[in-house]
Amino acid sequence: MSPQILISDVLREQRQYFRAGATKSVDFRIAQLQALKQVVIEHESEILEALKADLNKPEFEAYTSEFSFVIQEINYALKNIKNWAKTKKVSIPLILSPASAQMIPEPLGVVLIIGPWNYPFQLSLLPLIGAIASGNCAVIKPSEFAPHTSHLVAEIISKNFPQEYISVVEGDVEISKQLLQEKFDHIFFTGSTATGKIIMAAAAKHLTPVTLELGGKSPCIVDKEINLEVTARRIAWGKFYNAGQTCIAPDYVLINKDIKKEFLKNIEKCIQEFYGDNPKNSPDYARIINQRQFSRVANLLQGDIRIGGEINADELYISPTVIDNVTWEDTIMQDEIFAPILPVIEYVDINDVIDKINLRPKPLALYIFSKNKKFQQKILSETSSGGVCINDVIKQFSASNLAFGGVGDSGIGSYHGKASFDTFSHYKSVVNRKFFLDASILYAPYAGKLSLLKKLLG
């Protein structure tokens, strides 16, 4: 059977299943979330092993940033779903009386979730939690570049959920393109900005709404008024976690000239503390996903390499690297790095930094390290980004009650917690009028009625 026929079959089955209405009951959704939680817990060791096989992801990182995120998000949805799914009564203007009005959240139908390879487990399942909580059927297409995780997600889902409810379609870009030919009720995509444009163009043919969780270059601004040791530790952690392959990793550092030297010393110390003298031998340091990415990243190793710069193609290893004296025009400053390379640009005047950031596509994340509230506030109010974390990095992703998403080139829409529920729901507005008091003022002939109506409307 060709994948095209298979995909159409799955979609037809899912449409029928959705129309039959089972997914609309809140009790059903709760039961599915509980089942998902149970099955994820049962497969903990396989999940961590798959991530190790795909990215050499250290067990600690796999547990904290993939496994536990999924469990946390399910728990949060279970705690709040009854409230989210409630019909919301709203007040209406006098002119509509007597009547009542409400907004009813309803599932969209059959949704498509396309995932990337860098956090291949949680970025396939986190959107699914929202889709289930909102009462949808879902097709998931995990990334082909994390095959162990992709197979495991397919296995876990197919063994525990009927295909007509949730289905995993594995495969590469060609499969993804075939999926995009079909009409879905929503497409939730996580991946690069370039692919995001292709997804949106394909979705437009069916007028399918999209959520695009994209990437970009997330700046990290470091003021003079900081705790230098903690700042360096947090930035080094966020940059070299998962070998820099994190959409919200600090892409580059903009540092006050006066403290640059000390900052670099501290970063070097942190790398040594985290990964020892030779990070290649550290069990806590991930690898680049594949040869294609490795070649791309290796080409970025140019300029004033202060720390690291070692590579080993056979092991897909790139050591934690810091490049000093980078300029805005350098190659490394043109696209998202997505690797363990930290360019450092020094500044004297923060206004120049803000101007430069504002000339570039809006980032997914922006980081500010400063104890100075005015400094923080100035950057917050004069720049735009998907999210911000002050005096740390990446943490803005970790709270289910904080919506996560990009803006401009870094994405459209958001998710996590209630935002996920909203993303996969349509709020149907309903006005329910009564038959009595059918005011004749609204009906033709209008002669003499407008002035009275104006008074009534205020």
Binding site for ligand NAD (CB under 6 A): 114-118, 123, 141, 143-144, 172-173, 176-177, 180, 190-192, 195, 198, 213-215, 247, 336, 338, 364, 406, 411
Helix (H, G, I), strand (E, B) or coil at 368: strand
User: In the block, which residue shows the tokens 């059903």?
Assistant: 28
CB of 152 to ligand NAD, least distance (A): 15
Select the residue whose beta carbon is closest to ligand NAD and give its number: 215
What is the layout of strands, in order, in the sheet containing 425-433?
88-90, 99-107, 425-433
Between 58 and 115, name the residue whose CB sits nearer to ligand NAD: 115
Between 24 and 395, name the residue whose CB sits nearer to ligand NAD: 395
* Distance between CA atoms of residues 370 and 231, nearest Å: 9
Between 14 and 245, name the residue whose CB sits nearer to ligand NAD: 245
Would you call 213 a catalytic residue per the annotation? Answer: yes
CB of 276 to ligand NAD, least distance (A): 28
* Distance between CA atoms of residues 199 and 252, nearest Å: 28
* Distance between CA atoms of residues 160 and 180, nearest Å: 25
* Distance between CA atoms of residues 284 and 240, nearest Å: 10
Q: Residue 200 carries which side chain, given as an amino acid letter?
A: M
* Distance between CA atoms of residues 346 and 260, nearest Å: 7
CB of 336 to ligand NAD, least distance (A): 5
Which member of 213, 220, 270, 336 is catalytic?
Answer: 213
Which member of 61, 66, 220, 247 is catalytic?
Answer: 247
Between 222 and 288, name the residue whose CB sits nearer to ligand NAD: 288
CA angle 26, 29, 32 (to 5 degrees): 155
CB of 386 to ligand NAD, least distance (A): 7
CB of 191 to ligand NAD, least distance (A): 3
* Distance between CA atoms of residues 58 and 351, nearest Å: 40
Between 7 and 264, name the residue whose CB sits nearer to ligand NAD: 7
CB of 54 to ligand NAD, least distance (A): 12
* Distance between CA atoms of residues 396 and 238, nearest Å: 12
Between 66 and 336, name the residue whose CB sits nearer to ligand NAD: 336
Between 135 and 417, name the residue whose CB sits nearer to ligand NAD: 417
* Distance between CA atoms of residues 113 and 261, nearest Å: 45
CA angle 110, 2, 17 (to 5 degrees): 25
CB of 364 to ligand NAD, least distance (A): 5
* Distance between CA atoms of residues 2 and 161, nearest Å: 23
- Who contacts 40 (Cβ-Cβ below 8 Å, separation ≥6)? 47, 67, 70, 71, 74, 125, 156
Between 115 and 135, name the residue whose CB sits nearer to ligand NAD: 115
CB of 126 to ligand NAD, least distance (A): 9
What is the layout of strands, in order, in the sheet containing 304-307?
304-307, 321-324, 341-347, 252-256, 219-222, 365-369, 387-390
Task: Using alpha carbons, list the distances in angstroms from residue 363 to 192, 342, 390, 410.
Answer: 13, 16, 15, 6
Catalytic residue numbers read 213, 247
